[in-house]
């Protein structure tokens, strides 16, 4: 074998592995540090969001504008000190939210408060973004944002805005802030430590690996070449000879390429055939499963559709004929859908249908639920569990009643009916469904939600 050619191959391999080692030494610590930094900020933001919402709720439940500034300041200071927050404030807004008046706040002892004189009526203009944020607060009750109505005097902060009940026709808001810059400093320190550790570990492992490659790479390649050559000659020496003629050269890599090509060519033919057959079988199976699922699932709600419902009913009718049936129907109908469509649009009507479907899916998750009409749903309970149907309906009605306090445009209003199969009396499933439907309609009358169109 030519010594010069062997040395050149060794140098190329050394350079390639050395370059790979340098790249790993840079990329791995940088990647690990970046991930650790982002994760630290994410964890702190998530934890701070929950903490700020909790503090805002405590303030809201224990304070109102009419309670007085001193009481708020005293209570807010105790919370601010306990949770090590930069500030807690309370302010009121102008009618169009374009200005705010800070009426009370608790801040860190070293912070200078340039906005507040508790007895002064001082308004501060705010940006359109903050104006929109305040509207969202009044709409949702509580909003967490990085926006800073105090123009960054407390650094980079995460703020939770929470609306208080109106007082003297003024809209009041509690403002609780957490320091993000401190979290970034801590996250950067942790990321730097992790990066240094990863870099050190990578350097040690890489050095060992490079030493191993430099000492043994060529020897292992020669040994592997001899083993593969022996296997190839025993299996088919004619093909091996052909590949040696195609691949010119007398170095270990050239010999390895010639002999490996023989095995790869044959194995690849088998693999390609197997992959083609497997791909065809897998594609056919996936398509069959997909079409079967689409045929039985309602696209809007994700519940089972009318086709699945009819298949279930037909099966139950067979059980009635064989005297083995035991089941109950629950019929649910969304109230005020036409009114919602007329006032809010059909897209919002679809949203309310889906919200009701989500409630049904969660509450009746152990049973078969179907969408059998535009705003009509059915739940079928089979077997011994059908005896619980009336209890389930009572609980579901209570759930709907409790949610209705926010209005039918925000929480679905629905009428619910129920009927249980009576062996020897009901001739088929339709009679049971009709009784459940009549019970639902009676519930709708009680709710005064009968459609007039």
Summarize pLDDT for 123-141 with one digit per residue, the tens.
778 888 888 888 888 888 8
pLDDT of residue 118: 47
Does 322 score more than 50 pLDDT?
Answer: yes
Rounded Cα–Cα distance for residues 217 and 427 (Å): 83
Distances 258 to 9, 244, 264 between C-alpha atoms, Å:
17, 5, 10
Q: Compute the half-sphere exposure of residue 61: CA atoms within 13 Å on the CB side of its CA.
A: 6
- What is the pLDDT at residue 6? 44
Percent share of the chain, pLDDT over 90: 25
Pairing mode, if any, of strands 368-371 and 414-420? unpaired
Which of helix, strand or coil describes residue 386?
helix
Q: For 170-197, give the DSSP string.
A: EEEEEEEEEEHHHHHHHHHHHHHHHHHH
Enumerate the domain spans of the chain.
1-224, 237-288, 306-446
Q: Which residues of 157-176 are buried (b: 16+ CB within 10 A; e: fewer)?
A: bbbbbbbbeeeeeebbbbbb
Q: What is the pLDDT of residue 224?
A: 47
CA-based nearest residue to 202, from 21, 36, 332:
21
Mean pLDDT of 420-432: 93
The pair of structure tokens assigned to 151 is 């123009």
Q: In what order do the strands lie in the sheet with 376-382?
A: 368-371, 376-382, 327-334, 414-420
Averaged pLDDT of the chain: 77
- Which whole number is the average pLDDT over 101-110? 76
3-state secondary structure of 119: coil
Question: Which run of H or E residues covers position 63?
Answer: none
Give me the count of residues in the chain: 453
Q: Is 249 helix (H, G, I), strand (E, B) or coil?
A: coil
Check residue 303 and give its pLDDT: 94
pLDDT at 323: 92
In terms of pLDDT, which residue wins out, 152 or 307? 307
What is the pLDDT confidence band of residue 425, given thresholds at 50, 70 and 90?
very high
Local confidence band at 372 (pLDDT 50, 70, 90 cut-offs): very high
- Paired tokens of 97: 């939210």
* Domain 1-224, second-level architecture: 2-Layer Sandwich (3.30)
Spatial separation of the C-alpha atoms in residues 32 and 99, rounded to whole Å: 45
The per-residue pLDDT for 223 is 47
For 323, 324, 367, 426, the CA distances from 423, given in Å and listed in that order, are: 8, 9, 21, 6
With vertex at residue 407, the alpha carbon angle to CA 404 and CA 412, rounded to the nearest 5 degrees, is 60
Please calculate the CA angle 351-357-363 and round it to the nearest 5 degrees: 140
Q: 44 or 384, which is more confident?
A: 384
Third-level CATH fold of 306-446? Alpha-Beta Plaits (3.30.70)
Is residue 327 scored above 80 in pLDDT? yes
Over residues 10-62, the pLDDT tens digits come to: 556 666 766 776 777 788 778 877 887 788 778 877 888 888 888 888 888 77
More confident residue, 183 or 403: 403
Q: Quote the CA–CA distance of 352 and 400 in Å, as a whole number.
A: 13
Give per-residue pLDDT as tens, 237-253. 455 554 555 555 565 55
Phi, psi of 72 (to 5 degrees): -60, -50
The predicted structure's pLDDT at residue 410: 87
Per-residue DSSP letter, 225: H
Residue 93: predicted pLDDT: 84
How large is the average pLDDT for residues 210-232?
Answer: 55
Classify residue 420 by its DSSP letter: E
Q: Average the pLDDT over 212-229 and give the result.
A: 54
pLDDT at position 350 is 92
**Can you tell me the distance from the alpha carbon of 54 to that of 166, in angstroms, rounded to the nearest whole number?**
21
Nearest Cα residue to 91 out of 83, 82, 77, 103? 103
* pLDDT at residue number 3: 42
Average pLDDT of span 96-109: 80
Beta strands in 271-394 (DSSP E): 327-334, 368-371, 376-382
């Amino acid at each position: 074998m030519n010594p010069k050619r062997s040395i050149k191959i060794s140098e190329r391999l050394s350079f390639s592995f050395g370059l790979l080692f340098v790249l790993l030494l840079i990329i791995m610590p940088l990647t690990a540090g970046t991930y650790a930094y982002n994760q630290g900020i994410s964890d702190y933001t998530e934890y701070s969001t929950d903490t700020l919402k909790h503090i805002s709720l405590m303030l809201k439940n224990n304070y109102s504008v009419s309670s007085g500034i001193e009481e708020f300041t005293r209570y807010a200071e105790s919370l601010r000190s306990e949770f090590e927050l930069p500030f807690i404030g309370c302010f009121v807004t102008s009618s169009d939210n374009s200005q705010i008046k800070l009426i009370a706040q608790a801040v860190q002892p070293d912070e200078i408060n340039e906005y507040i004189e508790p007895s002064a009526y001082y308004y501060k203009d705010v940006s359109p973004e903050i104006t929109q944020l305040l509207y969202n607060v009044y709409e949702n009750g509580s909003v967490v944002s990085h926006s800073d109505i105090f123009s960054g005097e407390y650094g980079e902060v995460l703020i939770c805005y929470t609306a208080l009940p109106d007082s003297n026709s003024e809209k009041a808001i509690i403002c609780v802030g957490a320091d993000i810059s401190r979290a970034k400093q801590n996250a950067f320190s942790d990321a730097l430590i992790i990066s240094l550790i990863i870099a050190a570990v990578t350097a040690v492992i890489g050095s060992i690996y490079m030493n191993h490659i430099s000492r043994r790479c060529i020897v292992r390649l020669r040994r592997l070449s001899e083993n593969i050559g022996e296997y190839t000659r025993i299996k088919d020496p004619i093909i091996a000879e052909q590949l040696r003629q195609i691949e010119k050269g007398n170095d270990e890599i050239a010999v390895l390429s010639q002999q490996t090509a023989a095995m790869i060519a044959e194995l690849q033919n088998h693999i390609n055939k197997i992959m083609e057959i497997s791909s065809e079988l897998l594609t056919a199976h996936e398509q069959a499963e997909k079409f079967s699922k689409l045929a039985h699932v309602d696209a809007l709600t994700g519940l089972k559709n009318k086709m699945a419902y009819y298949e279930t009913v037909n099966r139950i009718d067979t059980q009635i004929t064989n005297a083995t049936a035991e089941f109950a129907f629950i019929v649910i109908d969304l109230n005020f859908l036409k009114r919602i469509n007329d006032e809010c649009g059909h897209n919002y009507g679809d949203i309310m249908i889906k919200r009701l479907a989500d409630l049904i899916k969660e509450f009746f998750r152990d049973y078969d639920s179907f969408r059998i009409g535009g705003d009509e749903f059915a739940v079928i309970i089979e077997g011994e569990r059908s005896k619980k149907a009336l209890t389930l309906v009572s609980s579901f009605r209570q759930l709907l009643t409790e949610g209705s306090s926010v209005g039918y445009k925000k929480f679905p209003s629905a009428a619910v009916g129920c009927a249980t199969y009576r062996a020897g009396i009901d001739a088929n499933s339709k009679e049971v469904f009709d009784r459940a439907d009549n019970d639902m309609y009676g519930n709708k009358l009680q709710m005064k939600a009968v459609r007039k169109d």
